[in-house]
Structure 1
Amino acid sequence: MGNLNRLEPVKAAQKFIDNYFPYCDGALLAGSVVRGEATKTSDLDIVVFDKTYISSYRESVFVYGWPIEVFAHNLNSYRDYFVSDFKRARPSLPRMVSEGIILKDNGGIDSVKSEAKELLSKGPEKWSTEVINTKRYFITDTLDDFVGCNNRAEGIFIANTLAELVSEFVLRTNNKWIGASKWIVRSLREHDTKFAEQFVEAFDIFYRSGAKGKVINLVDEILKPYGGPLFDGFSLGKK
């Protein structure tokens, strides 16, 4: 998908809006190109607002040398996504809107950006003690599988699951947003750079050498302030 002659990101995004969404009420360019984190495979994330749309939709196209992801909303539907992102603690759309460069604004986009920034600063819903204990149990269960596993292939995927559970636990117990894929590490770095380095190092050592010690110690230290591993006495759904 590379193209040495393609337009600069903002110019390409502006031309795209002018030609494909000339009557929209507003548009934003977001994503890695805005954050200065673009790679050769990065696309342009463009959020479009149009009061005439019946519902939200997502669409992918390739124009002006760029893969472009369009996230289209009317002037109300984006709020449903804000609420959904808040509940799952992954603020995909609020983050895009908050960081986005305005490409077009017929009035109101600043207000939407303010809503996004307010939600992001608030952080996700605080976990209850019950939720924390449930998460402790599933981390303990996965850690036990990890410690006892002698099959290299199975161990890799158990470690993947453990990394996701542990990163979620650390972020949510600290009232921070979580992420998926590359956003796991990015979210951890936003929370605590030093811890993120320890986290990556522990799992990297396991993936490279099979040594489990640093991962096990890391998980034990994370669970310790909340009572440590949990198995005996745990109950879920009992009437």
Structure 2
Amino acid sequence: MRLEPTEAAIRVMQRNYPDCLLAVLGGSASCGEYNEQSDLDIIVIERDGYDFSRKTIEAHGWIAEIFILSLSSYREYFDEGVLAANPSLQRMVAEGTVLRSLPEGVEVRADARRDLNYGPMPLSPSDIAEYRYILTEFLLDLTSPRREGEKWFTVHKIASTLCEFVLRANREWTGEGKMLFRLFNRYSPALGDRLEAALLAIYREDDPEDLIALTEEVLSPYGGKLLVGYEE
């Protein structure tokens, strides 16, 4: 029988990590947005142990993906997320459902919240130029003769890079996969709607014009498209 997600996660924690300093259930299961294909994302902070390990188990009707860090190592991995502007561990720790927490665990959560509240580092002029160049190249690929498979890969790269650029340019955190679009849409529902409509126009009607126009509009305040003259 499949248990309610929090109860299932508590049992996993009690059986496998009863002495942990902090255990948190993150992801869709922690906010009531789960479905039959959802899994349990559990992050565990232990006093000692490996710097970082990750394992997947099956328990109580769920697939559980467990991320284990030590008290001495978590900061290093938090910093990696900050530098990449994708603090996935901090999101889980700060926004998830707490399963167990000792005083040291409370401080880890406070550390995660401080990172999230501070925001990512601003893009440098060279970073912005790189995004402009990459998106310009992808747009050229999209409008050039191509095989169907190449077109879909190009569309995917434009959509993900566009979302990432908008978020980074406005000092917002990014994510991966569906989380990237969620964050993009949360930042600007209007842009989220336009991107979704542009993608549908390509998939249903093979019409890339809306995606091209949206990308050019996003790049315009930063100097527009860039190809000739770009330097690294």
Q: CA deviation at 1:203?
A: 1.4
SS at match of 2:103: coil
User: Structure 2: where are the runs of 5+ without partners?
Assistant: none
Match status 1:188 vs 2:179: no
Does the 8 Å CA contact 2:51/2:74 hold for their aligned counterparts? no
The alignment-based identity, stated in percent, is 34
**Matches of 2:153 and 2:190 in 1, distance apart?**
25
RMSD: 1.3
SS at match of 1:229: coil
Q: CA deviation at 1:52?
A: 2.1
Partner of residue 34, structure 2: 38
Q: CA deviation at 1:168?
A: 1.2
Q: CA deviation at 1:150?
A: 4.4
**Matches of 1:53 and 1:10 in 2, distance apart?**
25
Does the 8 Å CA contact 1:149/1:155 hold for their aligned counterparts? no
Q: Deviations over 1:95-125 (max 9, x none)?
A: 0001122211232222111111111111111
Match status 1:210 vs 2:213: no
Match status 1:65 vs 2:61: yes
1:140-155 matches, cutoff 5 A: 140-155=136-151
Q: CA deviation at 1:149?
A: 3.1
Q: Deviations over 1:169-190 (max 9, x none)?
A: 1111111111211112111022
Match status 1:95 vs 2:86: no
SS at match of 1:7: coil
Q: CA deviation at 1:167?
A: 1.2
SS at match of 1:148: coil
Q: Aligned residue pairs: how many?
A: 232
Partner of residue 85, structure 1: 81
Q: Deviations over 1:112-146 (max 9, x none)?
A: 11111111111111101111011101111111111
Partner of residue 3, structure 2: 7
Q: Deviations over 1:187-227 (max 9, x none)?
A: 10221111111111111210121101101110110111111
